[in-house]
Structure 1
Amino acid sequence: MPRLLALGLAASLLSIAWLLNPPGDNPPATHISAADILATIENAPAGRVSDQQIRHIDAGGHNVGVGVVQRPPSTSLGAIQHHKQTEVYYVVSGQGTMVTGGELTNGRELNPEGAVVRTLTGPSAVGGIEGGESREVGPGDMVIVPAGSPHGFSEITETITYIVVRVDPERFVELK
């Protein structure tokens, strides 16, 4: 049942992005099948962080990406801050403590020519978080992370898998 809800959520978010297009701009809808999402989840390598982009499309005026992230249990995690990209997470399975907001500390810019920036995150910096808000997240939870908001997990108690929708207003990330 959570997987069906996750798939419905992904479809709804893509529909919202399509509705936000300027009048007269009618790009085609994009369908991501349940089979594609489940295959991405099942093919994620075990025991390490996996961030697999399923699609990244031109949604008219901005790009939208959908992917699956899987993170193993850990207590030694950092944070990331996307300068222009907003992310929406839907937790499919697992749980952890997510920290959002506050200030990015000891920030280091990711290589703008690197694969992570070009295919997933857009221009971003990594570091730690000071003064953020912590919350437990688990199956069925959603988190909206606005552009510029530092975020990360301070602890993952059980391998967490979530669908991520990335809104890329500057169209920086490569289409897929």
Structure 2
Amino acid sequence: MLKIGILSDSHTKRELHQKALRYLVSKEVEYIIHAGDICTQSNIDDLKATQKPFVLVRGNNDRALHDPSIKQEPYYFKIKEHTFKLMHLPYYLTPDSDIVIYGHTHHHTIEHKGGTLFLNSGEVCAREKDLSEVMVLEIANTHYEVTRAYRKPSINIWIEEKQTFVR
């Protein structure tokens, strides 16, 4: 089973970003995907410090960042045999990959339509609501398992909600 951590919209909330990364690493994810608005070089450095392979797409608030690891949207890639499309702005929500990941809205979304899994992990920064959010995607031969994890910034307990979809 392949396990991938997903996060988005860290903004300038480095402590929340670090806690989100620690949570994902504690779940033994093999890869990390960030759907943009990472906003600071220190947040990128924290992502690199996990020593996990990662993919990061440029968000609308990342224009001042020049790190070569930032990809332009929509960014298509593969992890093993699974195809992904990653973007920040939800302008390219077409089912042309196995998994489509986006950010920007600050609201989590989990949808399985026409054989494509659409994911938005919500927000790490807890700007729109008093929650910091991430996702863990597990890909098995027959199904996807998506865990939405969230916590109040003042509390260090992550609450997990799981959904399973037949591939």
Scaled to the shorter chain, the TM-score interval is under 0.3
Which structure has the larger Rg over C-alpha atoms? 1
TM-score (normalizing by structure 1): 0.25
Structure of higher RCO (CA pairs closer than 8 Å, 6+ residues apart): 1
Q: Hey, which of these two has a bigger chunk of helix by percent?
A: 1
TM-score (normalizing by structure 2): 0.25
Q: Hey, which of these two has a bigger chunk of strand by percent?
A: 1
